[in-house]
Structure 1
């Protein structure tokens, strides 16, 4: 992805120098499990089967950021800026009102949010209670080295996916799904979450369609591969388990890649209605 000359978003809250004061951290999953908590719920990219047990640090001593961390922060800020520009154009044209961008919190090892504590093992997530997305930039290395999702556009897809959950929040979809889940069986709640996550993949594709001028050859395939690598069925197999569809909360590899492609090929929010289709 060609980001040279692209502005960096100012909607960044960088906690990486002081991360470690987040309090208790549990097996939250990478957000998209849509955990219903006292204040809010997480929604993001769940690779918990591979990341449970990953080490976290409890140090709160201020530290200097490495060159790699600085580069990851700059990359994230520029990708976030592209999402701001894209959705600021799309909302008036397709929704009929202005877009209010989220803040993205960068943290290292662990942090706190109104939705609860999170660690590098829980990965990126979005918390609607404070309208912020949370990202441990070390996840980019995990994405490539442990999940097999290589390339800078795979990392950009992660940022775009969390922003897509903010788009869902702006559209009122997160609240509707939250209410529906509260009165549903576990199986039904999981099925609703799958539709929510596939819609976020589709909305990520809509964003990608609007940044074509910044893409290198192979970038879209990097995003499609990342979507496949974090499919529920693939992750469960990688963890040595037989896939259990009733436990899925994000969709299969095939579904995730197909819905991203749907958004990319259409460029329209309306094409991402995963709640009205019989075929996911």
Structure 2
């Protein structure tokens, strides 16, 4: 995907290596439920991504959005290397390596795209932040660890990313390519849009009140909507797409479906424990956004998924 260079005014930070810390999830925004079951599958780098969903308090109740779900056991994150750019300028942070540059370009593009969408609809838009870290860090929702995969924290409105995830996406699940990486950023940006629209807090409240979970639960519908929003972004930048980009996105969406991850990690599929949707559902909603470019088409909460 041929994106413009990032805007130097985007909100980007670097926590460096081990920036905030530690092992447990508990600081920051004051977690409502603590740690929900570890549900992820490690994307390569010699291990399995441990992905978790947790809920945090942010003036109401919010959902910490992550890209993947499934089943599996925690594996210690691989050691991180590379120079620290903590406290550096946006330019220095984003140009520290190719993966950061790619993430910043996609983040900046999503920022401009959604600001335009909100402006067209007469809505107020506030940009999120993008935080890089290596190994471990600290978010407004508690500890950030590379084993969690990329995630969005609604408490501080920031996307947290250890870019080693990109290598894992390619080497373990064979979902490589620049658009696959862009999809990661666009999905997490989609969670910010849900936060701005109040959808995240509504879903978290529904989860807390004991609403239906599993394959038809609100958390699944939230994640599928974020996939659709990623497609909306891609549609509105379709003049930047290269041949093969859409297939890269579909390959990534398939690789991180709950059923695929569970089958690979546990040898069976348990729909009652779904958190993100099946591979087919994730591909479908990404395609809805790609085809329409219309956020209104991303209503995953009405009717069947």
Q: Same fold (TM over 0.5)?
A: yes
Q: Residue 112 of structure 1 aligns to a residue in which SS?
A: strand
Q: Residue 160 of structure 2 aligns to a residue in which SS?
A: strand
Tell me which residue corresponds to 2:22: 23
Q: Is the 8 A contact 1:28 1:122 kept in 2?
A: no
Q: Residue 52 of structure 1 aligns to a residue in which SS?
A: coil
- Deviation digits for residues 201-241 of structure 1, max 9, x if unmatched? 00100000011121110101111111110000000111132
1:80 matched to 2:107: yes
Mapping for residues 70-219 of structure 1, pairs under 5 Å: 70-94=97-121, 96-184=122-210, 187=213, 191-219=217-245
More divergent stretch after superposition (154-163 vs 70-79): 70-79
Q: 1:217 to 1:247 in 2, by over 3 A?
A: same
Q: Residue 134 of structure 1 aligns to a residue in which SS?
A: strand
CA positional deviation for 1:62:
9.4
Tell me which residue corresponds to 2:14: 14
Higher helix share: 1
1:52 matched to 2:74: yes
Q: 1:237 to 1:263 in 2, by over 3 A?
A: same
- Give aligned pairs, total: 275
Q: 1:112 to 1:221 in 2, by over 3 A?
A: same
CA positional deviation for 1:273:
0.5
CA positional deviation for 1:29:
5.0
1:35 matched to 2:54: yes
1:261 matched to 2:280: no
More divergent stretch after superposition (177-186 vs 196-205): 177-186
TM value normalised by structure 2: 0.81
More divergent stretch after superposition (21-30 vs 239-248): 21-30
CA positional deviation for 1:277:
2.2
RMSD (CA atoms): 2.8
Q: Is the 8 A contact 1:32 1:125 kept in 2?
A: no
CA positional deviation for 1:131:
0.6
More divergent stretch after superposition (190-199 vs 242-251): 190-199
TM value normalised by structure 1: 0.88
What are structure 1's unaligned runs of at least 5 residues?
Answer: none
Q: Which of the numbers 216, 226, 240 marks the counterpart of 2:266?
A: 240
Q: 1:97 to 1:38 in 2, by over 3 A?
A: closer
What are structure 2's unaligned runs of at least 5 residues?
Answer: 26-36, 41-49, 86-92
- Deviation digits for residues 94-138 of structure 1, max 9, x if unmatched? 4x2132110010111111112111211111011100011101111
> Within 2, Cα distance between the matches of 1:186 and 1:238?
26
> Within 1, Cα distance between the matches of 2:94 and 2:106?
18
